[in-house]
Amino acid sequence: MSKDDTTRELEKLRADVAALSDARREAASAPAEPQQSAPDDSKSDAAVPAEQKTQLEELGDLLQEEIRDLPTITCLTVFSLGILMGRLMR
């Protein structure tokens, strides 16, 4: 990344932070609405039927099962190689 790219990205991030800060202040100054009772979300993942799980949750579960049995050093090596390949393919 060149210095100009970094400067532009930093300015963009500062503008985003300012916008979020303004939105947060507006939300805090808005009158509080009465809260409705939320449904009980104390169910575990096992109690939720498979049809209702999102694809991302399913992928996370599958990866967790696969990685749990592998040695830590192997996982770190594969992860590092993935990052290296991603950087080299830019």
Burial class, 53, CB count within 10 angstroms (exposed 0-12 / middle 13-18 / buried 19+): middle
Instruction: Provide the whole-model pTM.
Output: 0.34
**What is the pLDDT at residue 59?**
87
Whether residue 45 is predicted with pLDDT greater than 90 in this model: the reply is no
Give dist(CA 19, CA 16) in Å, integer: 5
Tokens of 78: 């594969």
Domain ranges for the chain: 1-30, 52-90
The whole-number average pLDDT for the span 37-47 is 53
